[in-house]
Amino acid sequence: MLSLQQRFPVESAINEIFIRKLRNRHVKVEHSMNFENLHETLTQFIKVQTGQSELFIENLQRLSGGASKEQFTFDLIRKSYNSDAPTTQRLMLRMDPTESVVETHRLREWQMLRAMQGEVPVPEVFWLDLEGEYLGQPAIVAGFLEGTVRPESKEDKMSGIGMYFEPYLRENLKGQFVEILAKIHRVNWREKDLSAFDVPQSNSTQANEWALNQLERAWQEDTTHAHPIMEQAAVWLRENMPVVENPVIIHGDYRSGNFMYDNNLNINAIFDWELAYLGDYHDDVAWASLSIFGGPDEQGNPLAGSLLPIEEFLERYEAASGFPVDRKRLFYYQLFSYYKMAVFTAATSLRVVYSKKTHLDAMMNFASGIGYICISELNRMLEQT
């Protein structure tokens, strides 16, 4: 009998993550919320990375939220050789928990953020602890940016799920939201250092095969029980897989909740590049326009990313990118998106909570409910095929 690794081949770096996940799963260690040694280990890590001994850290604070990573902010104080006054730099630490709602590769995220510097607004990345040699878990240190991710609301919602933007915010942000996505897809990735990414063959289904294999393998390894709709969806996705003519950079989680804007209402950062890969631009377009991520307007009309009507989003994207949106192909990737969400939420999040290896038990349990909404959407869409 073939193993899951043999049945569902994936990119090399992704395979490493699957192997690490299962290896760690057999270690009976619950996720620790004790970070009392982090100040010391982080200081030592940065000293090694910079080759500077005269630096120290202040105001190390853990951030709330973050369904897949532990995140901290801190001030890095360094002696200035040109002045008597030390320099202060506000930074962020993004570190793997014991196990995540989605296991991803820090080198891939690191390389993608570096590739996007100067292309679209992203945080600057500085240092990478790939194997957790210094910090205990794989981690990235990046620049900290000020801004707003979630507008103030009377309701405390999971970031990116049904967010509400006032009309003036929608008017100012919607064009930027579309234009940045188009810029991502137009980046010449062959000129970038993306060595942690396997390159799929052009004019083939390979990009989609790898993407679907990754999700099927995660479902098989993480789910606590079988579900016929998930099995049916996987079969349909494999049988109807479109050819990707010219792969582009796919963000993988482009939506409200993963961008930030400043006081001038300019989007100044796109976050969470951990799911990025090379594939079909329809994937990001489908994900960004998924109804589960978009709250309605005041008349109850669905909005892509809670910002603009879906048809307007598609038209603006075509104009900004120069890429046509094939509605039949868009349907495929919308179904793929719900399958993807269901894997993360109805399978992996529950497994992580059950294993006590997450820092967000309540959020992961809440996410599992979203998973069954996604399975319901899969059922609805499959009935249309």
Q: What is the pLDDT of residues 8-28, one digit of tens each?
A: 999 999 999 999 888 887 776
**Amino acid occupying residue 227:** H
Per-residue pLDDT tens digits for 82-95:
666 789 999 999 99
For 334-346, the pLDDT digits (tens) are 999 999 999 998 8
Average pLDDT over residues 303-318: 97
Residue 262 pLDDT > 60: yes
CA of 197: how far to CAs of 6, 17, 72, 305, in Å? 19, 13, 27, 27
Is 104 inside a domain boundary?
Answer: yes
Q: How many domains does the chain have?
A: 1
Is the residue at 92 inside a domain?
A: yes
DSSP summary character for residue 148: B
In this predicted model, what pLDDT tens digit does every residue of 292-303 receive, in sequence order? Answer: 988 899 999 999
In a domain, residue 11? The reply is no
CATH of the domain at 55: 3.90.1200.10
The DSSP-derived string for 341-373 is HHIIIIIIHHHHHHTT--S-HHHHHHHHHHHHH
- Check residue 136 and give left, alpha or beta (phi > 0: left; psi -120 to 50: alpha): left
Assess if residue 23 is contained within a domain: no
pTM of this prediction?
A: 0.94
Reduce the DSSP state of residue 133 to 3 states and report it: coil
Euclidean distance between CA atoms 254 and 325, whole angstroms: 17
pLDDT class for 154, splitting at 50, 70, 90? very low
C-alpha distance across the termini of the chain, in Å: 32
In a domain, 375, yes or no: yes
Give the pLDDT confidence score for residue 271 in this predicted structure: 95
- DSSP structural state of residue 276: -
Read off the pLDDT of each residue in 300-325 and give the average, rounded to a whole number.
97
CA distance 85 to 76: 14
Residue 13 lies in a domain: no
**Residue 22 is assigned to a structural domain of this protein:** no
What CA–CA distance (Å, rounded) separates 196 from 12? 8
1 occurs within a structural domain: no
Q: How many residues does the chain have?
A: 385
User: For residue 158, what is the DSSP state?
Assistant: -
Average pLDDT, the chain: 91
pLDDT, tens digit, for every residue of 207-257? 999 999 999 999 999 998 889 999 999 999 999 999 999 999 999 999 999
Range of the domain at 149: 33-383
Structure confidence at residue 101 (pLDDT)? 75
